[in-house]
Chains A and B, each alone.
Chain A
């Protein structure tokens, strides 16, 4: 399974990390690929740090252990950086995407990220407040993710969002989510 992509998500409970992990996984299925999305369950209380995992592959995925060496790390809440080593085990040529207003160069220093690791920042919370009108950065950050590492197609994300939201939400809400993805895709800053 050389094409296996492994993503680890860091967030606080309530920020929608599991939903984001699911969105990426379901987008992979939308492209007729194989996927796996799993949260790491601990005490369930809003604000508690949590991790979630996504695997994507062109072949059936048989492993089900925790991801130790992610190729991609996504951080939905930068206040976690003081207490969590978000880069733990990251691949030497991996990428980290942080929801932050810092520049990627400044973030590289904060993270003490090695040279080979790509560092990207995007104000996903700001974009969410502008578009969805709530600080739920999970949907926009997927837009940034597929810009940094095109693990699934940009159009497939929209396609899957339409499929997920299509039946249950007002057009206004769907448009806001789609716009948040587009803006994050365009506004994400990448170093490396």
Chain B
């Protein structure tokens, strides 16, 4: 029977517990703030014999992802974790992991990208990886980070795609909160054992991995297959989330809303700021305002149809991006949302905001200001376009 324990831990400790329970056959990692304590804690589990994993401390993130690719291609259940400049250093290999259809799981502690140097939270690192073919999930809090990490290994292996469960640096990784962890046996059963379709170490059925594909259309065919695979993973992610939810009592949806049944103005956001937005939404709804909030737990593949469906009744929406796409018409989440609404034929006023870069605090008054901006937009006010919130 599934038994859960209530604990108080940092977000990274929750993730490290999930790693121990998933029990990868191999883990290759390099430390970077604020990811470090995930690997530190996991190393302690390895040293104390709590998990049997081939754990290798490599000399850089580039090496970490290289080793993960080799290990996953050999057929081993493989994990790592990173953040910020570390993820940036892996850039060369992220599309290789996806292109080779390797089910690697890598938690990312979301952190700003330099310059200037900044160790705090934003989503610039993850957004730099968004087009690489990885499945990307954003956690609002430590509990979701734990749940996503356990779901991730199933999602990766069932879809032959790498998965990145992302959690907000410091805000989620380092703050201590209350949550529930599942008993080891239930997780072991839930994640099962990796049964690779192909393995480089299977000498009876030899394969080649990472070959050339420069003539004819094979390169484009393989990329089309990747596009189809990540699109097709959407229902699979939902099913795995539902299955995990049955065990935990915590539901999962790609798109989760609050107050959206009658909202005229809504705010869309990713990650930990969703909590702050929900708190403000709750307060304003109690005052009789028809406002709502939406967060995405699955970011890639982008749940376009579901999102458009949730937003279609609104008069005005704000999209809060925790990173910018410099030179583009808006931040990445806003661009995705515009495309989703256009595709669904939903015409609604949308105002894009950039907020919380480099850990800038998300004050509740800022969120209230966004709702007031939206009320003005609903009344036919001018849309001033991209706005940096709070400065």
Contacts and interface: CB of A to CB of B under 8 A. Distances in A.
A64 B275 contact: yes
B273 to A, nearest CB: 8
Question: Contact size class for B?
Answer: 20 to 34
Interface in A13-43: 22, 25-26, 29, 32, 34-39, 41
A25 B8 contact: yes
B128 to A, nearest CB: 23
A63 B283 CA distance: 12
Contact of A62 (B178, B279, B363): B279
Given A25-B176, A39-B174, A62 B8 contact: no
B119 interface: yes
Contacts of B175: 36-38, 64
A35 B10 CA distance: 12
A97 B175 CA distance: 23
A65 interface: yes
A111 interface: no
Given A29-B6, A35-B8, A61 B177 contact: yes
Contacts of A68: 363
Nearest to B175: A38
Contacts of A29: 6, 8, 178
A64 B171 contact: yes
Nearest to A27: B8
A63 B364 contact: yes
A66 B390 CA distance: 14
Contacts of A41: 34, 119-120, 170, 174
Contacts of B141: 64
A58 to B, nearest CB: 12
Question: Contact size class for A?
Answer: 20 to 34
A27 to B, nearest CB: 10
A34 B8 CA distance: 9
A65 B279 CA distance: 11
A55 B293 CA distance: 23
Interface string B252-285: 0000000000000000000011011011000000
A23 to B, nearest CB: 11
Contact of A63 (B34, B178, B279): B279
B176 A36 contact: yes
Interface string B4-21: 001010000000000000
Interface string B104-128: 0000000000000001100000000
A63 B274 CA distance: 8
Contact of A22 (B176, B275, B279, B364): B176
B36 to A, nearest CB: 12
Nearest to B366: A65
A26 B177 contact: no
A65 B363 contact: yes
Nearest to B177: A36
14 contacts: A22-B176, A29-B178, A34-B178, A37-B177, A38-B170, A38-B175, A39-B174, A41-B119, A60-B178, A63-B279, A64-B272, A65-B362, A65-B363, A65-B364
Given A39-B174, A61-B177, A64-B172, 10 more contacts: A25-B8, A26-B176, A29-B8, A29-B178, A34-B178, A41-B34, A64-B175, A64-B272, A64-B275, A64-B276
Sorted nearest first, the 7 A-B pairs with minimum C-beta distance are A38-B175, A62-B275, A37-B176, A29-B8, A63-B279, A66-B361, A64-B272
